Every structure is written in structure tokens, then in C-alpha cells.
Structure 1
Amino acid sequence: MIRIAGITATLSLVGCAQPGYESAPWLRHLGWFRTVLGQDLIATCTTDTPRLRAIYNGRYDTQIRQYDLTPTATAAWQLATMVRGTTNVLTLDSRDLAQPWRGRTTERTVGAEDRQRIIAALDATPDPVASGTNLPSDRLYWIVTECRDGKVHTRAWLLDDSRPQQPAFVAVLRALDPDETPLEDRPVFGNSRDRREGRFMIEVP
């Protein structure tokens, strides 16, 4: 379930949005929901399509980090990392006006043993939030969607005063990360300008 607060006025625009709508701060959140909830993984999950996605939530244009682990034609796996950075309109290309908002993606090939280490670390990380927990967009959290053996598993961890440290699996993931940009852990909404981009909640399945 997706609960949206503060962006009702823009919902009517979604049906007529053109490619590149993510350049609008309010509308780009709508396209982000499917990714965060792993709806594409869920729709295609079979015993032959193992995949994993881990997302670190933060301020949309500076803190978001997305990892996708997918099989290749060989026994290897591809780990893709997407990191969003501060939007730079000077990089605009008339052929792709949404490019500056899409983030930077880097990829590397990892072995089956690396995938097993990631999965083992995930399974060993304690205290994921309960199903039905609301994840506010102005909080730091991890949400992981995995298709394993034809079944979908979704887990999430909130970072707050009771859990200020990154979950244990993050160290394993970061050791394989081809992008060395550090994870930011400052508050998501630092000022009123940030809040104007809207707040929403995602409910953990």
C-alpha cells in the first residue's frame, strides 16, 4: 500500500505526463514508488528470475542509493549502483532533459559467492520492521525486495535514535559497491525548501 501526503494537487497530472516527468519534484515521487516497492521484481518473480534490490532512502536529490543484483548469462551476477546527486542543470542535453535527475549508475560483475554473502548477511541482520509499518519519506531507512526461489521477500530497517548505525548487511554490500560515494546520514529534510517537495509514506508489505 502507498500512502501519499501533501501532493494531492499534482495527482491529476500523472495521466498526461510525458517522458521526463521526473524533472518535476512532485511527480518524480510517483514514479519512484514502483521502484521502492520492487513492483517490477514482484511482477516477474519466478524460480528462474532471482533478483535483489536494496534502496537507501534519504533526501531525493542527494541521498538516495539503489542497488540491483541480477543474474547474467553466465554464473556471474551484475551489481548496479545508482546514486543520486545534486541536480546540475548545466548538464542538460536537449535529447534527454531528465538526465540530470536520473542519477549516476555504475556496474560491476560479482560472483555467485558474493551473492550468497549478501543474502547471508541480509538473513542475519536482526530486527527488520514489522509488516504494515509505515516508512516516512523524511526518515532514513533501507528497504530490500528479493525474488528468491520464486518467492518475494520484503524487509526494511529504519534508522533512528534506537538504531543509529547502518544495518549489518550494508557493510557486505558496500564492500562490493563500485561507487565509492559515502552514505549520508544527516536528516533528510533540513529546511523548509526540502519539505516543499512533499512527504509520503510507504507501507511495508
Structure 2
Amino acid sequence: MTGRSGLCLALVLSLCACTYDGGDIGNPFTRKVQWYSFIGGDDIQASCAAGSAEQVRLVYNAVWGEQVRIYEWDGGTRDLRIRVIGPGNLTGLTSDDILAPWRAVETRVPLSAEARTGLDTALAEAGGFGPPAVGLDLPSHGYYWAAATCRDGRFTFTGWRWPSDSFAAARFPALLFALDPSRAEVRPPADQTLDLQWEDDVRRGVAAPFLLSVGRNGRVR
């Protein structure tokens, strides 16, 4: 993270330490210990049972440490919850909140029944509620979507990695971005093969790539 050196490495080293407990994932210290569990939807899986409300958590990873966008909705609300995690900006540092530069920016936008149906349909078309893409690797230093959902009492974790036909064909990202007030800031996929700064950070030990994989019953690492 800009200021990505020390904090980014600390986050990566402890990403899988704890199960997500419903806390503020926008807090960098919560992310530090609960990110794997959060993105994998452990909390959604734990509450998913016959008769439970639909829950959807979509995460767009546009290179960890540069931009991560989280979109959530469920059967109990009429809002789309959006959280954006950026590279950090030390100009936002204050004595009142020393973590402010690394906190997620959160917004909520009304989600009409029509928009919700459109999102559900597009996500279903992309395989978001069906059999997971078992074995798919989702690298931190890359572009992908991850989905953790509960629908009709069935939990699914799956993903779409760029570049791929499935990533390109998915319609739900465009629908989400159209609802996102900060859509102009969305970081589009781009070739990372010549990211010399990243390669130098890895060599110096100030950045560390990590990997998620899609399993049959959830995410694996």
C-alpha cells in the first residue's frame, strides 16, 4: 500500500489468523487477521441453512494494496453496501484517527427490487450460485472477482480470474459499477508482467504475494 511497504507486509503475514466475526473489515487491523475468512464468507457459510435469507458478498481484487472493492446485499435490507480499500494516503493521517489513511471508504446506495433481481440473474448466469470453479487460483497481485453467497439454503464460494472467458462474459460487474457512486475510480484489469516496482518490493521483502484457491466446499489457501 502507498505507505504500502510496512503495513502491507504486516497484513499479508497475518491474513489467515482468525475467523471473521462480523467486525469492521474496513479497519486495517481487522483485515490483517480476518481477510481470508471474510473473503471466503466463513460467516455466511456458518449462517446458511434451509430457510435463511439470501446473502451475497462480492469482492473485486484489483491488485491487493492498490484497490479492493466489496459489494454486499442480503434479503434483509434494501441497500447495496459498498466498501473500497485503497492504497492508503498519508495526507489523511490525523491524531484523532491514525488508521484513517488505510480504512475502507463505505457507502450505501438504494437497491430496488428490479436492480436486485438483475444482479441475482447476472450472478446466476456467471455461475455465482452454482458449482464452484474448483481449483481456480486467485492471486493477490492480480485481478479477480470472488463471490461468497447463500441462496436457497446453499452456500457457494467461487471466483473469476482475469484474463479468462468467464471473467469477460460476466455481466454482474458492470451492473455493480453502474450503481457505485465512485465508479469513475474503478481500477480496470491491466497486464502486471512488467510491474518492476512490485518485483523490487518482493525482492526487498516489503511486499509478499498470497493466493486464494476455490475449493469444493469453500475457499482454500
Q: TM-score, normalised by structure 1?
A: 0.75
Cα RMSD after superposing both structures: 3.3
Shift of residue 29, structure 1, vs aligned partner: 5.1
CA distance in 1, matches of 2:101, 2:86: 9
- Alignment partner, residue 54 of structure 1: 58
- How much identity, in percent, do the aligned residues show? 28
- Alignment partner, residue 117 of structure 2: 116
- Alignment partner, residue 101 of structure 1: 102
CA distance in 2, matches of 1:116, 1:42: 22
Unaligned runs of 5+ in 2: 1-8, 19-23, 216-221
CA distance in 2, matches of 1:177, 1:168: 15
Q: 1:203 aligns with which of 200, 209, 213?
A: 213
SS of the aligned residue for 1:165 comes to helix
Residues 1:160 and 2:171 are matched in the alignment: no
Relative contact order (C-alpha < 8 Å, sep 6+): which is higher? 1
- CA separation of 1:98/1:144 partners in 2, compared to 1, >3 Å: closer, same or farther? same
Shift of residue 81, structure 1, vs aligned partner: 1.2
- Alignment partner, residue 151 of structure 1: 154
CA distance in 2, matches of 1:114, 1:21: 29
SS of the aligned residue for 1:147 comes to strand
- CA separation of 1:140/1:29 partners in 2, compared to 1, >3 Å: closer, same or farther? farther
Shift of residue 55, structure 1, vs aligned partner: 0.6
- CA separation of 1:95/1:41 partners in 2, compared to 1, >3 Å: closer, same or farther? farther
Q: Does the CA-based 8 Å contact 1:61-1:101 persist in structure 2?
A: no
CA distance in 1, matches of 2:79, 2:27: 28
Q: Quick one: which amino acid aligns to residue 79 of structure 1? A: L
CA distance in 2, matches of 1:130, 1:51: 19
CA distance in 2, matches of 1:94, 1:71: 39
Q: Which digits, 9 at most, give the CA deviation of each residue in 1:164-196, with x for residues without a partner?
A: 737222122222223322233224582235533
Shift of residue 125, structure 1, vs aligned partner: 2.3
- CA separation of 1:135/1:78 partners in 2, compared to 1, >3 Å: closer, same or farther? same
Shift of residue 161, structure 1, vs aligned partner: 6.3
Q: TM-score, normalised by structure 2?
A: 0.70
Shift of residue 97, structure 1, vs aligned partner: 2.5
**Segments of 4+ in structure 1 off by > 6 A?**
126-129
